[in-house]
Amino acid sequence: MLTEPTEQLFTRSRSVVSRVVAGETLIVPVRGRVGDLASIYSFNGTGSLIWQLLDAPRSLSELIAAVEREYEISPERAQKDVTQFLHDMRSVSLVDISQVEVRPSIAMPAIDMTAAESTTQPMLETAGSH
């Protein structure tokens, strides 16, 4: 049985509260409807950018491209930084992952078969048939 390819999408955990204070992003996990003030996290510029992007589900490639553009760094460096950030955030339950089906994004033009069938010349020829 063939299965559709899937892609991981990352998003902020729903069990945190975040605020930007004096240019720094602060994250407070919420446990039992109360902020866990013993576990406050702060992010630098790169972490803040990624966190801001995670307000909506994003793929790894989207996050890498955004960091690469914003900081004008190599794709390899952006990939390393984003991957490490996501790993660290997952290890403390600040980021969630969901799987989505990947569908081809190739748009195929509609073909009017009645018009194609009414012509005497074949629309496609195989090699060696001329």
Do 13 and 95 contact (CB within 8 A), yes or no? Answer: yes
3-state secondary structure of 115: helix
**How confident is the model at residue 67, as a pLDDT?**
96
Q: Over 80: is that where the pLDDT of 68 sits?
A: yes
What's the pLDDT tens digit per position in 27-49? 888 877 666 666 788 988 899 99
**How confident is the model at residue 80, as a pLDDT?**
95
Phi first, then psi: what are they for 42, rounded to 5°?
-130, 145
Considering only residues 105 and 26, tell me which one the structure prediction assigns the higher pLDDT.
26
What's the pLDDT tens digit per position in 75-120? 999 999 999 999 999 998 899 998 877 665 554 444 443 444 333 3
**How confident is the model at residue 78, as a pLDDT?**
96
Secondary structure in 3-state letters for 38-97:
HHCEEECHHHHHHHHHCCCCEEHHHHHHHHHHHHCCCHHHHHHHHHHHHHHHHHCCCEEE
Task: Tell me what the pLDDT averaged over the chain comes to.
Answer: 77
Domains and CATH numbers, the chain: 6-117 (3.90.930.60)
